[in-house]
Amino acid sequence: MALDPLSQKIVDVMSAGFPRFGETVFDAAEARARLAALPKAEVPRTPVARVEDRTVPGAAGPIPVRLYWPGEDEHGLPIVVFFHGGGFVLGDLDGHDAMARDLCAGAGVIVLSVDYRLAPEHPCPAAADDAYSALLWAHENAASLGGDPARIGVAGDSAGGNLAAVTCLRSRDEKGPAISHQLLIYPVLDSAQNTASYSVHAEDGFLTAKAMAWFWEQYLGPAGDGGHPYVSPLRAPDLSGLPPACVITAEHDPLRDEGEAYAIRLAEYGVGAEVHRFDGAFHGFLSVSHILGYAREALSLAASAQRKALGME
């Protein structure tokens, strides 16, 4: 189905303000500067009990993180390690503050939002290494945060969805912390970029196929292996033993098919996986949940999936 008039208007406004990655803008620093110069939209922020900025140790140095608590005097809460989107090139803690707050309040969990290193200055596996380091820290320090080390989930949107999926694979492979749930919101899962949705929805949503190709070029760099499971989780030869997943996709999104294919493959390996496609939606639609009713529905669905998987219901 086509975008509804309100969604189309939002896509038009967002697209007009964003650089045309891979078409007119090819330098990451220039892209970030252009985005920083745009007027900042006033987005409602869901109240949470407490927010705190910290750093956690990483292989290449301290990693900035932001912690969110849903209540003042709660102990033994699940922790969700959250990775922001931005094509591995863009994004930060502030840009995804609203989504982190929504997940914290909606699911009643502690959220650890991770400001991982960005490409092309830090190509893969830098972001994935930071993501895994953040998981290890959350597990080791869960009790001091008021969290439960036995109930840890991961979540992310777009490129952050990739990092969430990769973190699950790596923790399984390296016998790291047990992860109870993975929330993948219109995730990036395969560098091949050869699905039908890449052709059918190359231009009609906010994220274009050309922009995604440019993001992959930045992330892979000259030596990256696009076929490695820690880069393209959809190509992992074995998906057994992974945590249950909730995958949210948007109809008008080049990434739609790979997200849905991942849920199907997880199920084939006996992993509980639910997939929810939002028809008429575009990539990034959860960022405007204060405007779009179906985006609020998606956030509610995501929070419900986390509550159930993390033992909150």
Helix (H) or strand (E) holding 36, with range, is helix 28-37
CA distances from 250 to 86, 95, 96 (A): 16, 20, 19
Render 217-264 in DSSP notation, one character per residue.
Answer: HHHHTTT--TTSTTT-GGG-S--TTPPPEEEEEEEE-TTHHHHHHHHH
**pLDDT tens digit string along 238-296?**
999 999 999 999 999 999 999 999 999 999 999 999 999 999 999 999 999 999 999 99
Residue 96 in 3-state DSSP? coil
Categorize the per-residue pLDDT at 21 as very low, low, confident or very high, splitting at 50, 70 and 90. Answer: very high
Q: Phi, psi (5° rounding) for residue 112?
A: -110, 105
- pLDDT tens for each residue of 73-91: 778 999 999 999 999 999 9
Active site residues: 158, 253, 283
Indicate if the pLDDT at residue 54 is higher than 80: yes
* pLDDT for residue 20: 92
User: Residue 241 in contact with residue 139, Cβ under 8 Å?
Assistant: no
pLDDT at res. 203: 93
pTM: 0.97
* 141 Cβ neighbours under 8 A, 6+ residues apart: none
Residue 312 has a pLDDT of: 86
Question: pLDDT confidence of 313, banded at 50, 70, 90?
Answer: confident
Amino acid at 41: A
Beta-carbon contacts of residue 33 (< 8 Å; ≥ 6 apart): none
Each residue's pLDDT tens digit, 89-143: 999 999 999 999 999 999 999 999 999 999 999 999 999 999 999 999 999 999 9
Q: How far apart are CA 286 and CA 290, in angstroms?
A: 9
pLDDT in tens, 199-223: 999 999 999 999 999 999 999 999 9
Q: For 294-301, which contacts have Cβ atoms below 8 Å and span 24 or more sequence positions?
A: 298/185, 298/248, 299/102, 299/103, 299/106, 300/106, 301/246, 301/248, 301/276
